[in-house]
Amino acid sequence: MMRALLLLLPLILLAGTARAQVPLGQGPSTVREGLEIGTSTSEIAITSDFRGADLTVFGALNNADELFLAIGQYDVVVTLSGPIDYATVRRKQRIFGIWMNTDSMTFEQVPESYSIASTRQLEDIQPAPSLNRLGLGIDHLTLSPTGFVGNATQVGAFREAYRRLKLSNGLYQRDTRGVRFVSPSLFRATLRLPANVPDGVHLVHAYLFKSGELIQSRDLPLRVVKTGLEQTITDAAHQQPLAYGLFSVLVALVTGWGASIMFRKD
């Protein structure tokens, strides 16, 4: 018994020293790095000639370790995720020569739009399993099917299709060089909002990684609003649908009537 303990002792000591070596060069006080972010705007307006917009996110690292900075051990990932909703993916099959939707799968609570910028390839910053756990990155967003899932083996194909379609229509975007350090402790990220960006409250989320370890994260809301006439029309259509419908008919009556008066020959 004693022998065994004596044998274990050096192992325990060794482990202890190994742990003590981790905060290398960080000083005894172990000051935590801080992360502050700010955006170029807190509101993006969808105007009648909206063709998409760029959002610039500025960030600063406080108490950053000079040595770690010098060897590029800090990584920043910034995401902009849109309003969350269910999404239904449908698949077509040929039936009697005609392509029609046959299978579908609904994923719960996924962002309608998602834009991500990082200092380098996400998979180089973090291994895939922990990205999956964080739900960080287009390939790692949690896509859990709800309701009746007919064939479990199909889930992968539907997830893959969801990501591909979102990327191809521009609602999901990634830029693995979108975050640049402008000074040792200041960075700037550029995120693209496509022309078809959904309105609502979006969330800017910045993650700070140190040697592959998530040490800080910050988020800021970003409101994407339809402005002026667009907003009035959308609100009216959804909140006063009857009045909106009656008004649409009235516009049609006036247009039709007006034209026949203007072009009347007799």
Residues that bind another protein in the complex, under the rule CB under 8 A: 46-51, 85-94, 97-101, 104, 106-108, 112, 146-147, 158, 161-162, 164-166, 168, 195-196, 198, 226, 229-231, 233-234, 237-238, 241-242, 244-249, 251-253, 255-260, 263
Q: Describe the crossing of helices 228-239 and 241-262 by its angle, rounded to 10 degrees.
A: 120
Angle at 112 between CA 108 and CA 113, to 5 degrees: 140
Contact of 227 with 103, CB cutoff 8 Å: no
Contact of 59 with 76, CB cutoff 8 Å: yes
CB of 4 to another protein, least distance (A): 60
Comparison of 135 and 198: residue with beta carbon closer to another protein: 198
Distance in angstroms (rounded) separating the CA atoms of residues 250 and 257: 10
CB of 89 to another protein, least distance (A): 5
CB of 90 to another protein, least distance (A): 5
Helix ranges (H only) for the chain are 2-20, 66-70, 122-125, 128-134, 155-168, 228-239, 241-262
Comparison of 184 and 256: residue with beta carbon closer to another protein: 256
* Conformation bin of residue 170: beta by default, left when phi > 0, alpha when psi is -120 to 50: left
Contact of 131 with 122, CB cutoff 8 Å: yes
Comparison of 65 and 112: residue with beta carbon closer to another protein: 112
Comparison of 56 and 169: residue with beta carbon closer to another protein: 169
Comparison of 121 and 169: residue with beta carbon closer to another protein: 169
CB of 161 to another protein, least distance (A): 4
Please state the length of the chain.
266
Contact of 171 with 187, CB cutoff 8 Å: no
Comparison of 20 and 95: residue with beta carbon closer to another protein: 95
CB of 241 to another protein, least distance (A): 4
CB of 54 to another protein, least distance (A): 17
